[in-house]
Amino acid sequence: MENNESYHVPVMLRDCIDALNINANGIYIDVTFGGGGHSKEIFKLLSADGKLIAFDQDEDAAKNTWDAPNFFFIAANFEHITNHLRLLGIKQVDGILADLGVSSHQFDEVSRGFSFRGDAKLDMRMNQQAQLSAEDLINTYTEEKLIQIFRKYGEITNARKLALAIIASRLNKKIRTTGELTAILETCAPKFKEHKYFAQVFQAIRIEVNHEMKVLESFLLQSEKILKPEGRLVVMSYHSLEDRLVKNYMKRGSLSGEITKDFYGNVLKPFTEVVRKPITPNEKELERNTRARSAKLRIASRDGK
C-alpha cells in the first residue's frame, strides 16, 4: 500500500495527518481521495476497529484503492456525504479531511482538458459521467453568464471583452479544444501576464463545470452534523474563493462571514479554530512539489460535549 506519487503528490501530508489528531479506533473521512496519499497515511494509524471512508468522483482514482474490511471507497462527489454515510450505517465521525482543487493526475493527463499547456478536447469534468463539459459551457453560455463566471471565479478584470471575444469566435465555428480557447485568450491577456490570465480563466471554467463552490458550501454545512464533539475538520484550499468560505465558516460560523450572537453576546458557531492562521507549505515542500505553493491548510475542532 504505497503512495502513488505519479498520480498525485500529497500536499502537506504530515501537517494534515497531525491536524486530524487520529484516534486508532476512530472513523475518518477523506473526501478527496485522488492518488490515496493522505488516505494511506490515515489508514496506517488505524486499528482493526477504526474505519476510513474515502470519496472521489473521478473514476481514475478508484485504481489507487486497496482491499480491507475497514476501508470503504465511495465513487461519488462528497456533496451528498451525509446520505452516503447513512447507507454505511454511520452517523458521526472523528475527523474529515478535504484536499480541494485538482489533482496532479488531472492536470498532467492532457486529454482531460484541465491545463492550457497542451491541446486537447475542452472537458474539465472531474466526474466524466457529468453532462456539462467545458466545451458545452464555452459554446452555449450567454454573454452575461460568461462575464459572471469569469469575474466571480477567475477574478478577470476584462471579463466582458473576453466574453465578447469567445462569442465572436464561436459564431464562425465551435470552440472544441484547449488550444483553440487559449488562442482566443491571447487576444485579451495583459502583456507579460499571459500565463496567469490563462490560469485564472481555466480555473473559472473548471469551477463552474464541476460546481465546486456549491459542493464546498454544502459539504461545510453538513460537516457540523457529521463530526463528533471535538472531531477535527481539516481543509486544504488553493485559491482565495475556497479559502474565504472555509475561513468564514470555521471562524464565524457562516459561509457569508456574518456573525450571529446569543442573548449574552457569545458568537454562535459550531467550530473552534485549532490554528488562528492557515498553515502553508515550507521551503522544503515547495522544492519537492511546486504545485503546493498556493495551498492553505485550516483546522477546526467541533464544539460540544
Which pLDDT score, from 0 to 100, does residue 7 have?
Answer: 53
* Integer CA distances (angstroms), 107 to 33, 117, 123, 249, in order: 16, 9, 12, 29
CA distance 46 to 63: 22
Give the SS3 label for residue 131. coil
Q: What is the pLDDT of residues 199-240, one digit of tens each?
A: 999 999 999 999 999 999 999 999 999 999 999 999 999 999
Q: What is the pLDDT of residues 146-201, one digit of tens each?
A: 999 999 999 999 999 999 999 999 999 999 999 999 999 999 999 999 999 999 99
CA distance 214 to 212: 6
DSSP one-letter string for 245-301: HHHHHHHHSSSS----B-TTS-B--SEEESSSS-B---HHHHHH-GGGTT-EEEEEE
Q: Sorting pLDDT into bands at 50, 70 and 90, what band is 3?
A: low
CA distance 124 to 202: 9
In 132-271, where does DSSP find H-type helix?
134-140, 143-154, 159-172, 178-186, 194-209, 212-226, 240-252
pLDDT (average), residues 11-34: 96
The average confidence (pLDDT) of the chain is 92
From the options 3.40.50.2020, 1.10.150.170, 3.30.450.20, 1.20.1440.230, give the CATH code of 131-209: 1.10.150.170
Domain ranges of the chain: 13-104+212-302, 131-209
Q: What is the pLDDT of residues 112-147, one digit of tens each?
A: 888 888 889 999 999 888 899 999 999 999 999 999
Superfamily of domain 13-104+212-302: Vaccinia Virus protein VP39 (3.40.50.150)
Which pLDDT score, from 0 to 100, does residue 151 have?
Answer: 97
Q: Sorting pLDDT into bands at 50, 70 and 90, what band is 270?
A: very high
* Integer CA distances (angstroms), 208 to 37, 132, 145, 218, 265, in order: 27, 9, 11, 15, 38
Are the C-beta atoms of 120 and 111 separated by less than 8 Å? yes
pTM above 0.85, yes or no: yes
